[in-house]
Structure 1
Amino acid sequence: MSTTEQSTELIPETIARQIVLPEGHRDNDALFAAYAWLRDHNPLGRAVVDGYDPLWLVTKYADIMEIERQPEIFTSAGGEYKGSVNPILANQAGDAFTKSINNGSLRILETLTYLDPPEHTAIKDIALDWFRPQNLAKWETVIRDIARASVARLLATDGKVDFVKDFALQYPLHVIMSLFGVPESDEPRMMALTQEFFGSADPDAARADVAPLSPDAAAQQWVATIQDFYAYFEALLQDRRANPREDLATVIAMGRDPNGEFYPNEMYYGYFIAIATAGHDTTSSTLAGGMLELGRDPEQLARVRGDLSLVPHLVNESLRWASPVKHFMRTATQEYTLRGREVHAGDRFMLLYQSGNRDAEANPNPDSFDPQRRPNKHIAFGYGPHMCIGQHLAKLELRIMFEELLPHIESLTATGNTKFIQTNFVGGLKNMPVSIEFRR
């Protein structure tokens, strides 16, 4: 590669830092401006940021799709790359810490994120049928009862609430824990661990047992939180093996490998962690993001409130808009030409789902929140074999909540500054102070 080619691929440092660094994600306006600049000027560019390995930033919908559908070329962390690359971006100090306490491996969790087919397929299949729409339909009454109770508690307030902390966080947490089989009394513990897990780079979610501001602090918190999850889920695993129930925890605990044997316990812990974290955090971020935009456009709010058949489209638009899963990493296993640029085995790619969902080539007028958008080509759940196993449950939860909530909302007005979680991985609104006028 010539020096000229390298220079045209290189992303300006300010843009690269805005996207790569967790602190760049506190300012949503600046973050999406950086995404837009890249889509317009350098849609597949090389980012060089101090403290991080060089990587490609993938900002266009089509390029993300091309990578996602070819796990044999762009691995999550499988095959010869098992344990040597991280499917979640961490800085060099963080990866070094993980290797130091994990026998030289970055595969700190035995979960779908770190796997590729066929291993990925076999483990995903353990719970795949449970997450199919025809099975989830039998849980709709349970979910709707939870939604109605949540709305009733909101209606009992004066309408001056933090929509994230007082409402959006609680509903999907209670849903997934109820279906999963975690006692309601343990839900606060699951919420705290989730916030520590996804907020490992956010000072507001820092653990007391992790030294703040050290280069590997985020990785230390990640590992410490995983260990706490393991301690909790060991008891859950053993209980479901001894006392099977009609819940998701039992389905996973009873899952076996293709030879009919149980997997190592760490695989079950990893599965449980994925359900207990992404199973609610992403849904609450989407709910809050969608309601904030409806509140900003009273005509759209009135239109959807008056025609609840639009709610499924509102759900998809909220997912596109919020895109709470911000990235996953992929590693090239061979030479490949992507968007006219030659990439090499070992090159790493940060798939920027938020940017892909604002790509005008996939979704015209992408910076307008349109609850009637059809078609809606969002990739909030990823694509290909790594497409989110819980997507149908998330959509069901969101549809039910919007159906139950919107008929009671005359208006929703932001009353203070909203803040976003400091993370480049999974997250959304941290707070959302609002004043709600209810329809009585």
Structure 2
Amino acid sequence: MRMPIVDDAAKVLADPTAYADETRLHTALAHLRADNPVSLVRAPDYQPFWAITKHADVMAVERANRLFTNWPRPVLMTSASDEMQQAVGIRTLIHMDDPQHRVVRAIAADWFGPKSMKAMGFRIEELAKRYVDKMRDAGGQCDFVQEVSAHFPLYVIMSLLGVPESDFPRMLKLTQELVGSDDDELKRSTPADETMNSLLEMFAYFQDLTARWRENPTGDLGSVIANARIDGEPLSDVDTMSYYAIIATAGHDTTSSSIAGGMRALVEHADQRNLLRDNPELMPQATEEIIRWVTPVKAFMRTAAQDTTVNGVPIAAGDSLLLSYASANRDEEVFADPFRFDIEREANKHVAFGYGVHFCLGAGLARMEIGKFFAELLPRLQSIELDGAPELTATTFVGGLKHLPVRYSLT
């Protein structure tokens, strides 16, 4: 067995600013994959955790969902935030393990299945055209994130939930505050001990909607969740609000980041943009490469249920492990030339949606939104270039570009 290794390079995984500096981040992750793929991290303000950086090790942990549990620490947060989350009692799908996870996930599963996705396809095409038209009407330049990619998937997921359109701006603000809580520009302007306020405000908002949906059920997903029963009993208020929160945030920000990051990649790799424009049948492959390239969910956490090993390194029961998707999706042993953006990449085994029982519930929807947006945009795009420096969100969980200024010609 290997002895536990502490590699200071792994501290980047607990540094939100590292994710806003791709060169710094990937230099550290490449070193870890090569030299210390399982490294113990002790960082200020965080409980210790093991950094898992190789694709094979991430997959092994994902497969062993009984040995490595989501509860009680599914996301890397500071010790103070861990305590506040537990005090609030948040229990989203990413906090749950089987059998509870399987039963609760089933409430919304059909809404993200092939039949529902097919029915939603035409509506998503209409929305894609609306937002490409908005780009055209902007006069040839815009901040693609702030004016397009932050809004298109928000409209899709909020419409699916049944949130009134008049409340979309409020939901955009809250979701950005939640996933951007480590970013000086995006975070809520409150003292550090009030970082849960955005989540509590979202809970309060959906609590009011829940009362209405229970009194007058509708055909929306939000109403289905509000009126769901398990073993004849309704979900608790906390579980109900947590369900809305995970769908509202995960269904919006991850897809927004993927579309924005995909746009940047296609701007900076004109050969790939032209190839995709001239060969639209490559869109499914291009979509997977965009998702791998961006990896909007940077990492998830797991907790060892018993003493075990990962890649020969002893892991004690109760230890936390960070599964670095950002690293796994650049693993040289899995992806040929992993730092090349290649829309023709074959057998793209990225882990951006996770793997196993916790595979992303909305993966099909995300793929559809990305594919249909670029299918609408590229045939109409005559030219495009950066109009300023792209800016990335500081985060340790979910994120991507927060600004992408572009100049273009569009029909």
TM range (shorter): over 0.9
- The question of 1:408 aligning with 2:380 is answered yes
Q: Deviations over 1:143-164 (max 9, x none)?
A: 1111111111111122211111
Per-residue deviation at 1:48?
1.6
2:194 equivalent in structure 1? 220
Q: Is the 8 A contact 1:414 1:434 kept in 2?
A: yes
2:105 equivalent in structure 1? 124
Counterparts of 1:228 and 1:344, CA distance in 2: 38
Counterparts of residues 53-132 of structure 1 (less than 5 Å): 53-77=47-71, 85-98=72-85, 102=87, 108-132=89-113
2:33 equivalent in structure 1? 39
1:187 equivalent in structure 2? 168
1:82 equivalent in structure 2? none
2:6 equivalent in structure 1? 10
Amino acid at match of 2:109: L
Per-residue deviation at 1:97?
4.4
Counterparts of 2:228 and 2:205, CA distance in 1: 19
1:139 corresponds to which of 116, 120, 135: 120
Counterparts of 1:278 and 1:142, CA distance in 2: 20
2:242 equivalent in structure 1? 270
Q: Deviations over 1:272-291 (max 9, x none)?
A: 11111110111010011111
Q: Name structure 1 gaps, 5 residues minimum.
A: 78-84, 212-216
2:149 corresponds to which of 149, 168, 171: 168
TM-score, length basis structure 2: 0.97
2:406 equivalent in structure 1? 434
Q: Is the 8 A contact 1:65 1:383 kept in 2?
A: yes
- The question of 1:255 aligning with 2:255 is answered no
Counterparts of 1:392 and 1:297, CA distance in 2: 26
Amino acid at match of 2:7: I
Counterparts of 1:41 and 1:336, CA distance in 2: 21
1:321 corresponds to which of 293, 296, 309: 293
- Pair 150,224 (structure 1): closer, same or farther in 2 beyond 3 Å: same
- Pair 128,97 (structure 1): closer, same or farther in 2 beyond 3 Å: closer
Per-residue deviation at 1:94?
2.9
Counterparts of 1:94 and 1:244, CA distance in 2: 35
Counterparts of 1:61 and 1:254, CA distance in 2: 40
Q: Is the 8 A contact 1:298 1:411 kept in 2?
A: no
Per-residue deviation at 1:392?
0.6
TM-score, length basis structure 1: 0.90
Counterparts of 1:227 and 1:91, CA distance in 2: 18
Per-residue deviation at 1:98?
4.5
Amino acid at match of 1:387: F
Per-residue deviation at 1:63?
0.7
Q: Is the 8 A contact 1:295 1:411 kept in 2?
A: no
Counterparts of 2:236 and 2:394, CA distance in 1: 34
Amino acid at match of 1:24: A
| RMSD (Å), alpha carbons | 1.5
2:218 corresponds to which of 229, 245, 251: 245
Sequence identity, in percent?
Answer: 40
Per-residue deviation at 1:246?
2.0
User: SS at 2:233's partner residue?
Assistant: coil
Per-residue deviation at 1:437?
2.5
Counterparts of 2:81 and 2:219, CA distance in 1: 39
1:80 equivalent in structure 2? none
Q: Is the 8 A contact 1:17 1:24 kept in 2?
A: no
* Aligned pairs, number: 411
